[in-house]
Amino acid sequence: MNETENLQNLPVVRGEYKFNEALKNYTWLNVGGPADVMFMPKDVADLQYFLQNKDENMPVFVLGGGSNLLVRDGGIEGVVVKLSDACFREIKIESDRIICGAGLLNNVLKKTVENEGLGGLEFLCSIPGCVGGAVRSNAGCFGREISDVLISAKVVNGNGEVLELRNKDFHFAYRHSEFPSDFIIVEVTLGYERQSSEDVKKTIEQQAEYRKAHQPQGIRTAGSTFKNPPQMRAWELIKNSGADKLKIGGAQMSLQHCNFLQNDGTSNASDIEDLCDEVKRMVKDKCGVELELEVNKVGRR
Ligand SMILES: Cc1cc2nc3c(=O)[nH]c(=O)nc-3n(C[C@H](O)[C@H](O)[C@H](O)COP(=O)(O)OP(=O)(O)OC[C@H]3O[C@@H](n4cnc5c(N)ncnc54)[C@H](O)[C@@H]3O)c2cc1C
Protein backbone atom coordinates (compact mmCIF):
# COMPACT_ATOMS: atom_id res chain seq x y z
CA MET A 1 0.00 0.00 0.00
CA ASN A 2 1.25 3.48 -0.71
CA GLU A 3 0.54 6.56 1.37
CA THR A 4 -2.21 7.89 -0.92
CA GLU A 5 -4.12 4.59 -0.87
CA ASN A 6 -3.71 4.45 2.89
CA LEU A 7 -5.00 7.96 3.47
CA GLN A 8 -8.10 7.28 1.38
CA ASN A 9 -8.96 4.25 3.50
CA LEU A 10 -8.21 5.63 6.92
CA PRO A 11 -10.70 7.41 9.19
CA VAL A 12 -9.99 11.03 10.02
CA VAL A 13 -8.74 10.90 13.60
CA ARG A 14 -7.43 13.35 16.19
CA GLY A 15 -4.33 11.25 16.78
CA GLU A 16 -1.40 10.77 14.42
CA TYR A 17 -0.70 8.42 11.52
CA LYS A 18 2.81 7.56 10.38
CA PHE A 19 3.32 5.70 7.12
CA ASN A 20 5.87 3.02 6.36
CA GLU A 21 7.24 3.44 9.88
CA ALA A 22 10.36 1.34 10.59
CA LEU A 23 9.49 -1.01 13.45
CA LYS A 24 13.10 -1.89 14.21
CA ASN A 25 13.23 1.44 16.03
CA TYR A 26 10.43 0.31 18.37
CA THR A 27 11.69 -3.16 19.29
CA TRP A 28 14.40 -4.27 21.67
CA LEU A 29 15.77 -6.74 19.11
CA ASN A 30 16.19 -3.80 16.75
CA VAL A 31 15.11 -5.75 13.65
CA GLY A 32 12.05 -5.95 11.43
CA GLY A 33 10.44 -4.21 8.50
CA PRO A 34 7.98 -1.29 8.56
CA ALA A 35 4.37 -0.96 9.66
CA ASP A 36 2.22 -0.03 6.65
CA VAL A 37 0.66 2.52 9.00
CA MET A 38 1.32 3.37 12.62
CA PHE A 39 -1.58 4.97 14.51
CA MET A 40 -1.08 6.85 17.75
CA PRO A 41 -4.58 7.60 19.10
CA LYS A 42 -5.19 10.83 21.01
CA ASP A 43 -7.29 9.06 23.63
CA VAL A 44 -9.65 6.09 24.12
CA ALA A 45 -12.49 7.78 22.21
CA ASP A 46 -10.17 8.39 19.24
CA LEU A 47 -9.15 4.71 19.27
CA GLN A 48 -12.83 3.69 19.40
CA TYR A 49 -13.65 6.00 16.50
CA PHE A 50 -10.77 4.57 14.45
CA LEU A 51 -11.86 0.96 15.06
CA GLN A 52 -15.50 1.74 14.27
CA ASN A 53 -14.68 3.48 11.00
CA LYS A 54 -11.67 1.71 9.53
CA ASP A 55 -11.99 -0.66 6.58
CA GLU A 56 -13.15 -3.94 8.15
CA ASN A 57 -10.47 -5.92 6.29
CA MET A 58 -7.61 -3.79 7.55
CA PRO A 59 -5.59 -5.78 10.10
CA VAL A 60 -4.71 -4.10 13.40
CA PHE A 61 -1.82 -4.99 15.68
CA VAL A 62 -1.02 -3.33 19.01
CA LEU A 63 2.58 -2.61 19.90
CA GLY A 64 3.64 -2.15 23.50
CA GLY A 65 7.26 -1.55 24.48
CA GLY A 66 8.48 -3.99 21.80
CA SER A 67 10.45 -6.00 24.37
CA ASN A 68 8.92 -9.36 23.54
CA LEU A 69 8.62 -9.07 19.79
CA LEU A 70 10.40 -10.46 16.79
CA VAL A 71 9.05 -8.37 13.92
CA ARG A 72 9.89 -10.11 10.65
CA ASP A 73 11.74 -8.38 7.82
CA GLY A 74 8.61 -7.86 5.69
CA GLY A 75 7.08 -5.66 8.40
CA ILE A 76 3.48 -5.65 9.61
CA GLU A 77 0.52 -5.37 7.27
CA GLY A 78 -2.20 -2.86 8.05
CA VAL A 79 -2.20 -0.65 11.11
CA VAL A 80 0.04 -0.87 14.15
CA VAL A 81 -1.50 0.91 17.14
CA LYS A 82 0.91 2.53 19.58
CA LEU A 83 -0.51 3.92 22.84
CA SER A 84 2.08 6.65 23.19
CA ASP A 85 -0.10 9.64 24.11
CA ALA A 86 0.32 10.88 27.69
CA CYS A 87 -3.28 9.88 28.48
CA PHE A 88 -2.27 6.22 28.09
CA ARG A 89 0.53 6.65 30.63
CA GLU A 90 -1.46 8.11 33.52
CA ILE A 91 -1.33 6.73 37.06
CA LYS A 92 -4.08 6.99 39.68
CA ILE A 93 -3.59 5.60 43.18
CA GLU A 94 -6.51 4.45 45.35
CA SER A 95 -6.41 2.99 48.85
CA ASP A 96 -5.75 -0.61 47.76
CA ARG A 97 -5.21 -0.40 44.02
CA ILE A 98 -3.40 1.51 41.30
CA ILE A 99 -4.91 2.32 37.91
CA CYS A 100 -2.38 2.69 35.09
CA GLY A 101 -2.64 3.54 31.42
CA ALA A 102 -1.67 0.49 29.36
CA GLY A 103 1.06 2.43 27.55
CA LEU A 104 2.92 3.16 30.80
CA LEU A 105 6.42 1.71 30.85
CA ASN A 106 7.04 -0.57 33.82
CA ASN A 107 10.29 1.23 34.58
CA VAL A 108 8.40 4.54 34.79
CA LEU A 109 5.84 2.93 37.13
CA LYS A 110 8.82 2.03 39.32
CA LYS A 111 9.16 5.57 40.75
CA THR A 112 5.55 5.54 41.98
CA VAL A 113 5.85 2.00 43.36
CA GLU A 114 8.94 3.06 45.34
CA ASN A 115 7.73 6.44 46.52
CA GLU A 116 4.28 5.24 47.54
CA GLY A 117 5.44 1.91 49.02
CA LEU A 118 3.25 -0.24 46.75
CA GLY A 119 4.27 -3.68 48.01
CA GLY A 120 3.77 -6.67 45.71
CA LEU A 121 4.45 -4.68 42.52
CA GLU A 122 8.25 -4.63 42.83
CA PHE A 123 8.76 -7.51 40.36
CA LEU A 124 6.96 -5.64 37.56
CA CYS A 125 9.35 -2.69 37.76
CA SER A 126 12.29 -4.66 36.36
CA ILE A 127 10.43 -6.14 33.39
CA PRO A 128 10.97 -4.15 30.17
CA GLY A 129 7.92 -2.99 28.24
CA CYS A 130 4.52 -1.53 29.08
CA VAL A 131 1.84 -2.51 31.55
CA GLY A 132 -0.55 -3.57 28.73
CA GLY A 133 2.09 -5.84 27.17
CA ALA A 134 2.76 -7.39 30.57
CA VAL A 135 -0.90 -8.42 30.83
CA ARG A 136 -0.92 -9.97 27.35
CA SER A 137 2.10 -12.16 28.15
CA ASN A 138 1.36 -12.62 31.89
CA ALA A 139 4.85 -11.28 32.50
CA GLY A 140 6.55 -12.31 35.69
CA CYS A 141 9.79 -12.80 37.58
CA PHE A 142 11.04 -13.39 41.12
CA GLY A 143 8.16 -15.78 41.82
CA ARG A 144 5.35 -13.42 40.82
CA GLU A 145 3.32 -12.79 37.67
CA ILE A 146 1.03 -9.92 36.71
CA SER A 147 -1.91 -12.33 37.10
CA ASP A 148 -1.14 -12.32 40.88
CA VAL A 149 -1.85 -8.58 41.10
CA LEU A 150 -4.25 -7.79 38.24
CA ILE A 151 -7.73 -6.84 39.43
CA SER A 152 -9.23 -5.78 36.11
CA ALA A 153 -8.45 -4.12 32.81
CA LYS A 154 -10.29 -1.85 30.45
CA VAL A 155 -10.10 -2.98 26.82
CA VAL A 156 -11.40 -1.74 23.49
CA ASN A 157 -12.64 -4.59 21.30
CA GLY A 158 -12.45 -4.85 17.52
CA ASN A 159 -15.84 -3.09 17.18
CA GLY A 160 -14.57 -0.13 19.17
CA GLU A 161 -16.58 -0.95 22.30
CA VAL A 162 -15.05 -0.41 25.74
CA LEU A 163 -15.26 -3.45 28.02
CA GLU A 164 -14.14 -4.04 31.59
CA LEU A 165 -12.50 -7.47 32.03
CA ARG A 166 -11.81 -9.10 35.39
CA ASN A 167 -8.72 -11.15 36.20
CA LYS A 168 -10.43 -14.45 35.49
CA ASP A 169 -11.54 -13.29 32.03
CA PHE A 170 -7.87 -13.41 30.93
CA HIS A 171 -7.49 -17.18 31.59
CA PHE A 172 -3.91 -16.67 32.69
CA ALA A 173 -1.30 -19.43 32.57
CA TYR A 174 2.50 -19.39 32.59
CA ARG A 175 3.53 -16.49 30.28
CA HIS A 176 0.13 -16.74 28.65
CA SER A 177 -3.28 -15.11 28.65
CA GLU A 178 -6.29 -15.90 26.54
CA PHE A 179 -8.48 -13.13 25.22
CA PRO A 180 -9.46 -12.17 21.67
CA SER A 181 -6.48 -11.02 19.61
CA ASP A 182 -8.30 -7.84 18.54
CA PHE A 183 -8.76 -6.59 22.12
CA ILE A 184 -6.57 -3.59 22.94
CA ILE A 185 -5.92 -3.09 26.65
CA VAL A 186 -6.08 0.62 27.46
CA GLU A 187 -6.07 0.65 31.27
CA VAL A 188 -4.96 -1.78 33.96
CA THR A 189 -5.95 -1.94 37.65
CA LEU A 190 -3.46 -3.64 39.96
CA GLY A 191 -3.77 -4.46 43.67
CA TYR A 192 -0.99 -3.68 46.15
CA GLU A 193 -0.20 -3.91 49.85
CA ARG A 194 1.03 -0.71 51.47
CA GLN A 195 4.58 -1.05 52.76
CA SER A 196 7.32 1.33 53.74
CA SER A 197 8.93 3.06 50.80
CA GLU A 198 12.36 1.92 52.07
CA ASP A 199 11.37 -1.76 52.07
CA VAL A 200 9.93 -1.55 48.56
CA LYS A 201 13.03 0.29 47.29
CA LYS A 202 15.28 -2.33 48.85
CA THR A 203 13.42 -5.20 47.16
CA ILE A 204 13.58 -3.42 43.80
CA GLU A 205 17.31 -2.81 44.22
CA GLN A 206 17.96 -6.45 45.15
CA GLN A 207 16.03 -7.65 42.12
CA ALA A 208 17.93 -5.25 39.85
CA GLU A 209 21.22 -6.53 41.31
CA TYR A 210 20.17 -10.12 40.66
CA ARG A 211 19.41 -9.28 37.02
CA LYS A 212 22.76 -7.53 36.60
CA ALA A 213 24.60 -10.55 37.96
CA HIS A 214 22.69 -13.22 36.05
CA GLN A 215 21.38 -11.71 32.84
CA PRO A 216 23.12 -9.92 29.97
CA GLN A 217 22.75 -6.13 30.10
CA GLY A 218 22.67 -3.53 27.34
CA ILE A 219 22.21 -5.97 24.47
CA ARG A 220 19.66 -6.15 21.68
CA THR A 221 17.46 -8.98 22.96
CA ALA A 222 13.86 -9.89 23.75
CA GLY A 223 14.59 -11.56 27.09
CA SER A 224 13.90 -15.28 27.43
CA THR A 225 13.56 -16.71 23.94
CA PHE A 226 11.80 -19.95 24.89
CA LYS A 227 9.36 -20.80 27.68
CA ASN A 228 10.56 -23.17 30.38
CA PRO A 229 8.89 -26.54 29.74
CA PRO A 230 7.18 -27.97 32.88
CA GLN A 231 9.79 -28.89 35.54
CA MET A 232 12.64 -27.99 33.14
CA ARG A 233 14.77 -24.99 32.33
CA ALA A 234 14.99 -23.90 28.70
CA TRP A 235 18.57 -22.65 29.17
CA GLU A 236 19.71 -26.07 30.48
CA LEU A 237 18.17 -27.85 27.50
CA ILE A 238 19.83 -25.38 25.12
CA LYS A 239 23.20 -25.86 26.81
CA ASN A 240 22.90 -29.66 26.93
CA SER A 241 22.02 -29.79 23.23
CA GLY A 242 25.05 -27.68 22.25
CA ALA A 243 22.79 -25.04 20.69
CA ASP A 244 24.20 -22.40 23.05
CA LYS A 245 27.14 -21.97 20.67
CA LEU A 246 25.05 -21.40 17.55
CA LYS A 247 25.50 -18.21 15.57
CA ILE A 248 23.60 -17.27 12.42
CA GLY A 249 24.60 -13.99 10.79
CA GLY A 250 24.64 -11.44 13.61
CA ALA A 251 22.35 -13.51 15.84
CA GLN A 252 23.56 -15.79 18.62
CA MET A 253 22.55 -17.14 22.00
CA SER A 254 24.05 -14.99 24.77
CA LEU A 255 27.22 -16.36 26.33
CA GLN A 256 26.00 -15.12 29.73
CA HIS A 257 22.48 -16.63 29.56
CA CYS A 258 21.90 -19.01 26.70
CA ASN A 259 18.10 -18.62 26.65
CA PHE A 260 18.58 -14.92 25.77
CA LEU A 261 19.33 -14.44 22.13
CA GLN A 262 21.11 -11.35 20.99
CA ASN A 263 21.56 -9.32 17.86
CA ASP A 264 25.09 -7.95 17.55
CA GLY A 265 23.68 -5.06 15.52
CA THR A 266 24.19 -6.64 12.10
CA SER A 267 21.40 -9.23 12.27
CA ASN A 268 18.10 -9.17 10.45
CA ALA A 269 14.90 -10.85 11.59
CA SER A 270 15.37 -13.88 9.35
CA ASP A 271 18.78 -14.65 10.96
CA ILE A 272 17.06 -14.56 14.36
CA GLU A 273 14.15 -16.69 13.17
CA ASP A 274 16.54 -19.24 11.63
CA LEU A 275 18.54 -19.32 14.87
CA CYS A 276 15.37 -20.01 16.90
CA ASP A 277 14.37 -22.81 14.50
CA GLU A 278 17.83 -24.37 14.70
CA VAL A 279 17.92 -24.19 18.52
CA LYS A 280 14.48 -25.86 18.63
CA ARG A 281 15.63 -28.58 16.23
CA MET A 282 18.81 -29.34 18.21
CA VAL A 283 16.97 -29.45 21.55
CA LYS A 284 14.33 -31.77 20.06
CA ASP A 285 17.00 -34.06 18.53
CA LYS A 286 19.34 -34.19 21.53
CA CYS A 287 16.92 -33.84 24.49
CA GLY A 288 13.59 -34.98 23.01
CA VAL A 289 11.85 -31.79 24.21
CA GLU A 290 9.79 -29.44 22.04
CA LEU A 291 10.62 -25.85 23.02
CA GLU A 292 7.94 -23.19 22.64
CA LEU A 293 8.84 -19.61 21.73
CA GLU A 294 8.21 -17.05 24.47
CA VAL A 295 9.01 -14.23 22.04
CA ASN A 296 6.09 -13.19 19.82
CA LYS A 297 6.98 -13.58 16.14
CA VAL A 298 4.89 -11.22 14.02
CA GLY A 299 4.70 -9.85 10.48
CA ARG A 300 5.63 -10.91 6.96
CA ARG A 301 8.84 -12.86 6.27
C1 LIG B 1 16.10 -7.71 28.83
C2 LIG B 1 14.73 -8.32 28.92
C3 LIG B 1 14.34 -8.96 30.07
C4 LIG B 1 13.05 -9.52 30.18
N5 LIG B 1 12.69 -10.12 31.34
C6 LIG B 1 11.43 -10.63 31.46
C7 LIG B 1 11.01 -11.24 32.68
O8 LIG B 1 11.74 -11.30 33.67
N9 LIG B 1 9.76 -11.74 32.73
C10 LIG B 1 8.90 -11.70 31.66
O11 LIG B 1 7.76 -12.17 31.76
N12 LIG B 1 9.28 -11.13 30.49
C13 LIG B 1 10.51 -10.59 30.37
N14 LIG B 1 10.89 -10.02 29.19
C15 LIG B 1 9.96 -10.01 28.04
C16 LIG B 1 9.09 -8.75 27.96
O17 LIG B 1 9.70 -7.68 28.64
C18 LIG B 1 7.69 -8.96 28.54
O19 LIG B 1 7.02 -10.00 27.89
C20 LIG B 1 6.84 -7.67 28.47
O21 LIG B 1 5.76 -7.81 29.33
C22 LIG B 1 6.36 -7.35 27.06
O23 LIG B 1 5.71 -6.09 27.12
P24 LIG B 1 5.78 -5.05 25.90
O25 LIG B 1 4.98 -3.87 26.28
O26 LIG B 1 7.18 -4.79 25.51
O27 LIG B 1 5.02 -5.86 24.79
P28 LIG B 1 5.38 -6.06 23.19
O29 LIG B 1 6.68 -6.75 23.14
O30 LIG B 1 5.28 -4.73 22.53
O31 LIG B 1 4.20 -6.97 22.76
C32 LIG B 1 4.07 -8.28 23.26
C33 LIG B 1 2.64 -8.78 22.97
O34 LIG B 1 1.73 -8.04 23.77
C35 LIG B 1 0.73 -7.45 22.95
N36 LIG B 1 0.37 -6.16 23.54
C37 LIG B 1 1.20 -5.13 23.86
N38 LIG B 1 0.48 -4.11 24.38
C39 LIG B 1 -0.81 -4.49 24.38
C40 LIG B 1 -2.05 -3.86 24.74
N41 LIG B 1 -2.09 -2.62 25.23
N42 LIG B 1 -3.20 -4.57 24.57
C43 LIG B 1 -3.19 -5.83 24.07
N44 LIG B 1 -2.06 -6.47 23.70
C45 LIG B 1 -0.89 -5.81 23.85
C46 LIG B 1 1.38 -7.29 21.57
O47 LIG B 1 0.42 -7.21 20.55
C48 LIG B 1 2.21 -8.58 21.52
O49 LIG B 1 1.39 -9.66 21.14
C50 LIG B 1 12.16 -9.45 29.07
C51 LIG B 1 12.56 -8.78 27.90
C52 LIG B 1 13.83 -8.22 27.82
C53 LIG B 1 14.23 -7.49 26.57
Atom of ligand 1 nearest to the CA of 83: 41
Residue 227: is its pLDDT beyond 80?
yes
Rounded to the nearest integer, the mean pLDDT of the chain is 96
What is the rounded average pLDDT of the residues 276-298? Answer: 98
Please compute the mean of the pLDDT values over residues 259-265 and round it to a whole number.
97
Is 112 inside a domain boundary?
yes
| Assigned domain for 229 exists | no
| Cα–Cα distance, 169 to 254 (Å, whole number) | 36
What digits encode the pLDDT tens for the residues 47-73?
A: 999 999 999 999 999 999 999 999 999
Q: Where is the domain boundary, 86, 108, 128?
A: 86
The answer to the question of residue 224 being in a domain is: no
**pLDDT (mean) for 97-125:** 98
Task: Strands of the chain (E only): list them.
Answer: 16-22, 34-40, 60-63, 69-71, 76-82, 91-93, 97-101, 118-119, 140-141, 144-145, 150-156, 162-166, 184-191, 193-194, 247-248, 251-253, 261-263, 296-298
pTM of the model: 0.97
pLDDT, position 6: 57
Same domain, 23 and 76: yes
End-of-domain residue from the set 180, 214, 248: 214
On the 0-12 / 13-18 / 19+ scale of CB atoms within 10 A, 212 is: exposed
What is residue 166's predicted lDDT score, i.e. its pLDDT? Answer: 98
Q: Is the CB of 64 under 6 A from ligand 1?
A: yes
Range of the domain at 81: 3-86
First to last CA, the chain: 17
Provide mean pLDDT across the span 263-270.
97
pLDDT interval class at 158 (50, 70, 90): very high
Mean pLDDT in residue range 224-243: 97
Q: Which residue has the higher pLDDT, 7 or 166?
A: 166
Residue that terminates a domain, selected from 36, 70, 86: 86
Tell me the CA–centroid distance for residue 134 and ligand 1, in Å.
5
CATH at residue 143: 3.30.465.10
Active site residue 175: yes
Q: Does the Cβ of 221 fall within 6 Å of ligand 1?
A: yes
- What does the pLDDT average to over 119-139? 98
| pLDDT tens, position by position, 168-204 | 999 999 999 999 999 999 999 999 999 999 999 999 9
298 CB-near residues (< 8 Å, 6+ apart) = 61, 69, 70, 71, 72, 76
Nearest CA to ligand 1 atom 17: 128
Residue 142 lies in a domain: yes
Q: Does some domain include residue 188? A: yes
pLDDT value of position 9 = 84
Higher-pLDDT residue of 301 and 49 is: 49
**Ligand 1 atom with the shortest distance to the CA of 135:** 21
User: Is 220 considered catalytic here?
Assistant: no
pLDDT at 88: 98
Q: What is the pLDDT of residue 134?
A: 98
Which CATH number covers residue 275? Answer: 3.90.78.10
Other Cβ atoms less than 10 A from the Cβ of 32: the count is 27
Per-residue pLDDT tens digits for 135-154:
999 999 999 999 999 999 99
Question: How far is residue 129's CA from residue 269's CA, in Å, rounded to a whole number?
Answer: 20
